[in-house]
Homo-oligomer: A and B are copies of this chain.
Amino acid sequence: MITGKNCIAGDFSGKGSVGFKTINPKLNSENPTTFVEATKEEIEEAVSAAWDAFKTYRKLPGAKRAAFLNAIADEMLALDQELVDTYTTESGLPEGRAVGERGRTVFQLRTFAELVANDDWRENTFDAAQPDRKPLPKDDLRKTMIPLGPVVVFGASNFPLAYSTAGGDTASALAAGCPVIVKSHPMHAGTSELVASAIVKAAEKTGMPKGVFSSINGGIQAGVDLVSHPKVKAVGFTGSIGGGRALFDLAAKREEPIPVFAEMGSINPVIITPNAISKRGNEIAKTYAGSITLGTGQFCTNPGLLLTVKDGNTESFVNELAKETIALDPQCMLHPNIKSGYDKKGADVTSQTGVEVVGKVSGTLEPNYAASVVATVSGAEFLDNPKLHQEVFGPFSMVVQCKDETELLQIIEGLEGQLTGTLIAEDDDALDLAEIVDALQNRVGRVIYNGVPTGVEVCPSMQHGGPYPASTDSRFTAVGIHSIKRWVRPVSYQSFPQSLLPEHLKG
């Protein structure tokens, strides 16, 4: 049962007077529940409780935090069809995606549970004492990782489960020993409340302090209040550059600045060599039509920029790509605001000098359904006009036709930071692939060879993050076990007696 209330340290509370509803984008109508925005007092209560909980939660043995994370996974699965239905109703995404994303979320929770069941993840190091060293003796030193403190997590519009209330940021922060306060995404507040109720149940069953988790409904001011709070020590965010940058700026201006890991937009350049087009252009066009439109193009790894060196085959390839893309059934976007943003950004980009729309889904679409677009432009125009570099969030891709390899490299080297870069080529290609990879890896977090950027594997070798503006700190990842590093810091113990060392540093 969705109540519309906030979850304040384990209790559902709705003291405020400002309400809002979520939207079913497929029906283009409001869902019934009224969600109550948290009051300043409720926010204060959540943060204070998180701070109090931190004092005990940070010291729990890893096995206890692991049990908590596994219990969250169990309780999420126990929500069963109600969660799937709420998800699809609030996002317009199909049931298969809901089930798949729930599976990913559960997998992430269990992966972090496994990670912290013992203390190896803490990167413990040991330097033995050398009492007889000259000229000065060396003391015994041991180092380990400890949690930063309460973390605020902002739910992502495009991942109502895997990067929202119990998603990757929450799972990694809880695993690290940090209490979490979620600012639920207003587009799927019902999904968030259900997941919050699962977390509360899991916390009760595994004996966690109540303040270990809260979830706040609200708008921009709630986010500002949370990020500005002195007892909040780090922030996780997935979303637009505008939103992520605003939080980053706010956190940097605090008396005590705190780290903000914001995973923001990306156009994910794909370099397709003329050789590859010549040998398998139609296959590439088909594969990329699928990647461009996957999830209605609403993935941060969506391939929004294809780069090639123009030759006699380019035109037919671009036409084939456009044909394959618009042949796919149009799909619903997450929200009317996302749809209008898509239309507006797309119109802005395609109205720039030199841009040609090669293919666009035509005819009357259902409300909130997106018309896929493939456009093209010359390398020279792209170099000259930064507006062409902006992300069009949705099923949109721009093919840039470079005049030669030099121009291609110039474009890659001048690109803003990206989550991914892909190279589609033949192993014995005519282009200098090593040079392209070298330039590309300097601008991105992940390079892919003969694949698609969509689909982000959860594994230790995944890097999801990249040079700004792909993320606010390229030294960390938002996906995979190493994402826990965002929420911890090293502490050294010098000359400590065994009795006062943490268990995992003894011996």
Chain A residues near B (Cβ < 8 Å)? 58-59, 125-127, 136, 138-139, 141-143, 146, 148, 248-249, 252-253, 256-259, 417, 427, 433-434, 437-438, 441-442, 444-451, 455, 457, 459-463, 465, 467-469, 472-475, 477, 482, 485-486, 488-497, 499-500
Contact = CB atoms under 8 A, between A and B. Distances in A.
A441 B489 contact: no
For the complex of A and B, 5 pairs with smallest distance between CB atoms: A252-B252, A141-B461, A463-B492, A446-B492, A143-B461
Given A256-B417, A448-B494, A449-B493, 5 more contacts: A141-B462, A146-B441, A248-B257, A252-B252, A258-B468
A491 B441 contact: yes
A491 B127 contact: no
A59 B445 CA distance: 17
B459 A127 contact: yes
Given A495-B449, A500-B434, A500-B437, A490 B463 contact: yes
Contacts of A253: 249, 252
B499 A126 contact: no
A419 to B, nearest CB: 10
A390 to B, nearest CB: 14
Contact of A494 (B433, B447, B477, B493): B447
Contact of A449 (B127, B146, B489, B500): B500
A474 B482 CA distance: 17
A463 B473 CA distance: 21
> Oligomeric state, in number of copies?
2
A490 B495 contact: no
A259 B476 CA distance: 12
A122 B259 CA distance: 23
A442 B57 CA distance: 13
A141 B490 contact: no
A495 B448 contact: yes
B449 A463 contact: no
Nearest to A441: B491
B491 A444 contact: yes
Contacts of A427: 497, 499
B492 A447 contact: yes
A467 B449 CA distance: 41
Contacts of A445: 489-492
Contacts of A259: 473, 475
A468 B59 CA distance: 22
A491 B475 contact: no
Contacts of A146: 441-442
Among A126, A141, A259, find the residue whose CB has the most chain B CB atoms closer than 10 A.
A141
B494 A449 contact: yes
A129 to B, nearest CB: 10
A256 B449 contact: no
Contact of A468 (B257, B462, B473): B257
Contacts of A485: 475
